[in-house]
């Protein structure tokens, strides 16, 4: 569900805006949609991708963890005449969710993932994603689980600093974390504006720069929803579920997400690996499971960026599944989706 992050001044805050799917045409072209084929839209949102897939005659299983998005998609289910099923679940759980529908490895012709938070969620003050509107410090895409309030109220200085540094690339991570822990003793942070004003006080911004709280809010949202861990699970799930010739297309909006997707496709396609003979006793290299047919990443056009400023940081990467068996979980890829677990000097080095 796209929101346009990266260098956008509306990153994490996101003022009111109509939800416009970014790079949708390019992503759907990468899937090479065909009538009757079965696709997963891992990020249903407002149904922008799914609607176009249905128009092409495809069958779609669409995921969204937000119950309001699932409820809003009910009319589209009726219009689809049996070709659309909505599933209220995280896209990282697609393997187990599809298994419950008797769909296993090699069942899908394509998977599309449009990573991030939707404009509709940002614009709902009660969801607590935006500090430009007063709302509860929540940020949950689903209706359950640990909220931003819980993290801000309970986490240690070290955990908060790591969240801000690794998920928000915030250079003042430790300063913000120390201020939160100090101030929450006198009064808990319960609203978005309350937290944003404190961050602006301890880290004053400069004119024409993004709001000082932007990166911290992005980091909290990623932590609350385990967005990077879910992305890793979804990529590996898609690898298992796609049939030979099936296609995986992923649109990202932030360097952290794109790094994971880029590493996944590079490893699965064998790109960058030197071809050489194996030494005696050296284990055989894993077979490539994807090919990437063109130079990537695919970026938005100038026209799209003018029409939708949130598109500026978007990138599309895609690949075609081959007949090799899916690989086991990659520890290096998994590590990119988590905070570092070691203590000491390798932790967040923010000010």
What does the pLDDT profile of the chain (351 residues) look like in tens digits?
334 333 333 333 333 344 567 899 999 999 999 999 999 999 999 999 999 999 999 999 999 999 999 999 999 999 999 999 999 999 999 999 999 999 999 999 999 999 966 555 455 544 445 656 778 999 998 878 899 999 999 999 999 999 999 999 999 999 999 999 999 999 999 999 999 999 999 999 888 888 999 999 999 999 999 999 999 999 999 999 999 999 999 999 999 999 999 999 999 998 755 455 555 655 566 799 999 988 899 999 999 988 887 788 899 999 999 999 999 999 999 999 999 874 444 455 556
Let me know whether 64 and 134 are in one domain: no
Let me know whether 148 and 190 are in one domain: yes
Cα gap 24→249, rounded to integer Å: 10
Contacts of 80 (CB under 8 A, 6+ apart): 54, 60
* Tally of domains within the chain: 2
270 Rama sector, left if φ>0, alpha if ψ -120 to 50, beta otherwise? left
Question: Which residues are bridge partners to 60 per DSSP?
Answer: 39, 84
Let me know whether 93 and 160 are in one domain: no
What's the CATH code of the domain at 140?
A: 1.10.150.170
Q: Which of 5, 113, 108, 2 is nearest to 58 (CA)?
A: 108
DSSP notation for 155-210: --HHHHHHIIIIIH--TTHHHHHHHHHHHHTTS---BHHHHHHHHHHHS---TTSP
Determine the pLDDT at residue 349: 54
Range(s) of the domain holding residue 32:
24-119+227-274+281-336
Let me know whether 214 and 300 are in one domain: no
| Residue 297, preceding peptide bond in cis (omega within 30° of 0) | yes
Q: Which of 191, 329, 145, 335 is nearest to 259 (CA)?
A: 335
Task: Answer whether residue 307 is part of any domain.
Answer: yes
Let me know whether 133 and 49 are in one domain: no
Let me know whether 131 and 218 are in one domain: yes
DSSP notation for 37-68: -EEEES--TTSHHHHHHHHTT-EEEEEES-HH
Q: Which of 146, 293, 303, 148 is nearest to 221 (CA)?
A: 148
Let me know whether 233 and 328 are in one domain: yes
Let me know whether 331 and 233 are in one domain: yes
Let me know whether 234 and 115 are in one domain: yes
Task: Answer whether residue 255 is part of any domain.
Answer: yes
Cα gap 313→309, rounded to integer Å: 9
DSSP notation for 16-36: S-----TTHHHHHHHHT--TT
Task: Answer whether residue 12 is part of any domain.
Answer: no
Let me know whether 171 and 106 are in one domain: no
Let me know whether 236 and 207 are in one domain: no
Question: Which residues are bridge partners to 136 per DSSP?
Answer: 191
Let me know whether 159 and 70 are in one domain: no
């Amino acid at each position: 569900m796209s929101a346009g992050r990266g260098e956008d001044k509306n990153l994490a805050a996101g003022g009111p805006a109509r939800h416009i799917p970014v790079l949708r045409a390019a992503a759907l072209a990468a899937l090479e949609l065909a009538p009757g084929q079965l696709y997963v839209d891992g990020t249903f949102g407002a149904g922008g991708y799914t609607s176009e897939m249905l128009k092409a005659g495809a069958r779609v299983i669409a995921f969204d963890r937000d119950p309001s998005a699932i409820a809003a998609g009910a009319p589209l289910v009726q219009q689809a005449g049996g070709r659309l099923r909505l599933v209220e679940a995280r896209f990282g759980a697609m393997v187990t969710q599809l298994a419950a529908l008797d769909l296993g490895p090699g069942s899908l012709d394509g998977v599309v993932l449009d990573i991030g938070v939707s404009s509709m969620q940002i614009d709902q003050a009660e969801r607590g994603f935006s500090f430009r509107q007063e709302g509860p410090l929540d940020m949950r895409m689903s209706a359950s689980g640990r909220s931003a309030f819980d993290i801000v109220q309970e986490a240690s200085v070290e955990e908060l600093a790591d969240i801000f540094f690794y998920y928000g690339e915030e250079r003042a991570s430790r300063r913000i974390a120390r201020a939160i822990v100090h101030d929450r003793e006198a009064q808990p942070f319960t609203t978005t504006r309350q937290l944003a004003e404190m961050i602006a006080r301890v880290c004053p911004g400069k004119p024409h720069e993004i709001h000082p709280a932007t990166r911290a809010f992005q980091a909290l949202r990623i932590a609350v929803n385990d967005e990077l861990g879910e992305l890793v699970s979804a990529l590996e799930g898609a690898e298992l579920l796609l049939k030979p010739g099936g296609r995986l297309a992923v649109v990202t909006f932030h360097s952290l997400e794109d790094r994971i997707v880029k590493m996944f496709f590079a490893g699965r396609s064998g790109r960058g690996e030197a071809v050489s003979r194996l030494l005696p006793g050296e284990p055989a290299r894993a077979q490539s499971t994807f090919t990437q047919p063109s130079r990537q990443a695919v970026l938005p056009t100038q026209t799209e960026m003018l029409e939708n400023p949130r598109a500026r940081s978007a990138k599309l990467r895609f690949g075609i599944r081959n007949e090799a068996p899916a690989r086991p979980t990659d520890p290096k890829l998994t590590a990119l989706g988590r905070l570092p677990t070691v203590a000491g000097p390798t932790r967040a080095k923010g000010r």
